[in-house]
Chain A
Amino acid sequence: MTDKVKVATVSLAGCFGCHMSLLDIDERIVQLAGRVEFIRSPLTDIKRCTDCDIGLIEGGVCNSENVHTLREFRKHCRILVAVGACAINGGLPNYRNYVPLEECLGESYLDGIGVENPHIPNDPELPLLLDKVYPVHEVVKIDYFLPGCPPAADVFWKFLTDSLEGRDPSLPYELIHYD
């Protein structure tokens, strides 16, 4: 048993840039590790989410697996945080929202330049694509948002230290960026 604050992180339809930015807190991660236990996270490679205090979600919702993962996180996380532009408004993957899904798949797997053996992948293990890429708040309730592409390391640090100290998290003007 541990009395450390449990933190889980996950990447949905994102580029892992937000996770990289979290790691950019550099040596402060040692300080953090003294107070925080990272459970399900790409940093730990644990696949299942168990009950935790803070869940950080990177990326938007583009397929059925993302929906499942996000709902599982919502169930297990006391505070769920949307991290970065993709989680908040779909981000760059959102650019496919203006093209019908059939055309997207056609361009990628049937008609695109250099495509060999053209066919739409349909292995049952592959998650089904949604019609659009959705921000996470359109699927589950979100408690806090960290904007940015990615949010700066100091944004993670400010949010986590505020939370650990029992303060309402707040970002000063210079840390709020949408790009």
Chain B
Amino acid sequence: MTKTITIDGKTIPFEEGQTIMEAAAAAGVYIPHLCHHPEYAPHGSCKLCSVTVNGRSCTACTFPALEGQEILNDTKELNDSRRRITQMLFVEGNHLCPGCEKSGNCQLQAVGYYLNMLDNHFLHFFQPRELDASHPDVLVDRNRCIFCTLCVRASHRDGKDVFAISGRGINKRLIFNSESGLLKDTDLDVNDQAAHICPTGAILIKRTGFTVPIGERLFDDKTIAETSLDYERGDHDG
């Protein structure tokens, strides 16, 4: 007999070992997320995918689907909290969309659109963060890093461990595995998965910006809910 959970009252089947996020995606239910990526081990750090499971708050990307769970996902309360979290990400970093070439393809921005986020609400940190343009093909702008660790996880799979997060709290920062601390002295190659996995404009491939004009980019036409579910179902080209 198929095991099931319910999400917002809808019955959803799952397979043993699936997380709530995986079961939801397979059933075409979008749960907002940033640090989750279906191809990498879950990290549970961004908290955007927090859902209410039998009355308790859990991150859908790390929590296993279990028979009989009653899950709330698309509620005003949860989406309000997600909007506040997204606003915190915006004020903690320096996310200036009009000056970012990832604009339109940026998942952080697209989640903001999805959650009807019109402003940043909180006081901005305006914390100066260093940019590293030393690598011939890849640029890292720490101003846009949201510490999702996707580049860390991807680089580990690339077998290179180029990226890591150092420090804690407001002092945490993205660092590179080289004697000099510079990106150019790491093993990073432009074709590595780690160079392409960043959900924001923190890791950019040089000389590719604006090849697709703003207005014709990924999230200009489709919501992040649509693109995310397309991706998880395999309807994507890369």
A136–B193 CA distance with the chains assembled, in angstroms? 40
A147–B86 CA distance with the chains assembled, in angstroms? 15
Instruction: Bits for A79-95, please: 1 = Cβ < 8 Å to B, else 0.
Output: 00010010011111011
- Cβ A142 vs Cβ B112 within 8 A: no
- Cβ B98 vs Cβ A98 within 8 A: no
Which one of B51-59, B120-128, B155-163, B167-175 is at the A interface? Answer: B120-128
Report the minimal beta-carbon distance from A132 to chain B, rounded to whole angstroms: 6
Q: In the complex, which of the residues A82, A97, A179 contacts B119, with contact meaning CB atoms closer than 8 Å? A: A82
A135–B121 CA distance with the chains assembled, in angstroms? 10
Question: Is residue B73 contacting chain A, with contact meaning CB distance below 8 A?
Answer: no
A146–B114 CA distance with the chains assembled, in angstroms? 15
- Cβ B119 vs Cβ A137 within 8 A: yes
User: Which residues of chain B from 117 to 141 have a CB within 8 Å of any chain A CB?
Assistant: 117-121, 123-124, 126, 128
Determine chain B's interface SS by DSSP, over half rule. Answer: loop
User: Which residues of chain A from 83 to 125 have a CB within 8 Å of any chain B CB?
Assistant: 85, 88-92, 94-95, 97-98
A132–B123 CA distance with the chains assembled, in angstroms? 13
Q: In the complex, which of the residues A132, A142, A145, A178 contacts B103, with contact meaning CB atoms closer than 8 Å? A: A178
Report the minimal beta-carbon distance from B212 to chain A, rounded to whole angstroms: 13
A82–B94 CA distance with the chains assembled, in angstroms? 19
- Cβ A178 vs Cβ B126 within 8 A: no
Q: Which residues of B contact A98 (CB under 8 A)?
A: 94, 126, 128
Q: Which residues of B contact A135 (CB under 8 A)?
A: 120, 124
Question: Is residue A138 contacting chain B, with contact meaning CB distance below 8 A?
Answer: yes
A92–B99 CA distance with the chains assembled, in angstroms? 7
- Cβ B119 vs Cβ A90 within 8 A: no
Q: In the complex, which of the residues B104, B114, B118, B223 contacts A147, with contact meaning CB atoms closer than 8 Å? A: B118
Q: In the complex, which of the residues A88, A146, A176 contacts B120, with contact meaning CB atoms closer than 8 Å? A: A88
Total interface residues on B, using CB and 8 Å? 26
Q: In the complex, which of the residues A132, A173, A177 contacts B126, with contact meaning CB atoms closer than 8 Å? A: A132
A171–B114 CA distance with the chains assembled, in angstroms? 12
Q: Which residues of A contact B103 (CB under 8 A)?
A: 178-179
Determine chain A's interface SS by DSSP, over half rule. Answer: mixed
Report the minimal beta-carbon distance from B173 to chain A, rounded to whole angstroms: 15
- From B98, which residue of chain A is reached at the shortest CB distance? A149
Report the minimal beta-carbon distance from B32 to chain A, rounded to whole angstroms: 14
- From A100, which residue of chain B is reached at the shortest CB distance? B128
Q: Which residues of A contact B96 (CB under 8 A)?
A: 85, 89-92, 94-95
- From A172, which residue of chain B is reached at the shortest CB distance? B116
User: Which residues of chain A from 129 to 145 have a CB within 8 Å of any chain B CB?
Assistant: 132, 134-135, 137-138, 142, 144-145
Q: Which residues of B contact A94 (CB under 8 A)?
A: 94, 96, 126
- Cβ A176 vs Cβ B98 within 8 A: no
Q: Which residues of A contact B116 (CB under 8 A)?
A: 171, 176
- Cβ B97 vs Cβ A179 within 8 A: yes
Report the minimal beta-carbon distance from B132 to chain A, rounded to whole angstroms: 15
Question: Is residue B14 contacting chain A, with contact meaning CB distance below 8 A?
Answer: no
Report the minimal beta-carbon distance from B191 to chain A, rounded to whole angstroms: 28
Question: Is residue B113 contacting chain A, with contact meaning CB distance below 8 A?
Answer: yes
Instruction: Bits for B85-112, please: 1 = Cβ < 8 Å to A, else 0.
Output: 0000010001111111001100001001
Q: Which residues of B contact A176 (CB under 8 A)?
A: 112-113, 116-118
- From B221, which residue of chain A is reached at the shortest CB distance? A174
Known contacts A91-B98, A97-B126, A137-B120; 18 additional CB pairs below 8 A are A89-B120, A89-B124, A90-B124, A91-B96, A98-B94, A132-B126, A135-B120, A135-B124, A138-B124, A145-B118, A173-B113, A176-B112, A176-B113, A176-B117, A178-B109, A178-B113, A179-B97, A179-B214
Sample 6 A-B pairs with CB under 8 A, ordered by A number: A92-B99, A97-B126, A145-B118, A146-B118, A173-B114, A178-B109
